[in-house]
Amino acid sequence: MSGYKNILVGLDLSQESTQVLDRAAEIAAQSNAQLSLAHIIEPLTFAYGGDIPMDLSEVQEQLQNQAKEQLRRAAAPLNIPAERQHVVLGQPATEIHRLAEDAGCDLIVIGSHGRHGLALLLGSTANGVLHGAGCDVLAVRVHPSGESK
């Protein structure tokens, strides 16, 4: 089996994202693969269901700009060019599937927080990405910052 050639890394931009990116970079180095980064922002109207009687577009734009800057900083040490850094508005699993398909990715790397109980029953982004991806998916178990692995 040959190694992966085109890897999409879905990041939530939390402190634990470095664990996911480090694992993806390790795989990319072993396979001489290209890395792309993605951060998906759910529209504020999804979260609040339109119940807030105000225009949230300025807040949404600020969130997107902050995410682009964080993604740029994460990409810099790995020399990932701007055209392979994606900040997208939408439903995370759906957008990750679309980005991976559009770019011809053969691996998606995402973080998994290992939730249990009710949080597990309600589903997660990692679960959504796994079910429906057209390529391999690696869910990297992330640990809260400062917690030993």
Within a domain: residue 93?
yes
Within a domain: residue 83?
yes
Cβ distance 109 to 9 under 8 Å? yes
Within a domain: residue 148?
no
Q: Return d(Cα 86, Cα 67) in angstroms, integer.
A: 10
Phi-psi group of 58: left, alpha or beta (phi > 0 → left; psi -120 to 50 → alpha; rest → beta): alpha
Residues in the chain with pLDDT < 70?
Answer: 1-2, 45-55, 114-123, 145-149
Within a domain: residue 149?
no
Within a domain: residue 1?
no
Task: Give residue 10's pLDDT.
Answer: 95
Q: Return d(Cα 138, Cα 86) in angstroms, integer.
A: 19
For residue 66, the domain's CATH number is 3.40.50.620
Task: Give residue 49's pLDDT.
Answer: 55
Within a domain: residue 146?
no
Within a domain: residue 22?
yes
Task: Give residue 124's pLDDT.
Answer: 77
pTM for this predicted structure: 0.85
- Structural domain span for residue 86: 6-141
What domain count does the chain have? 1
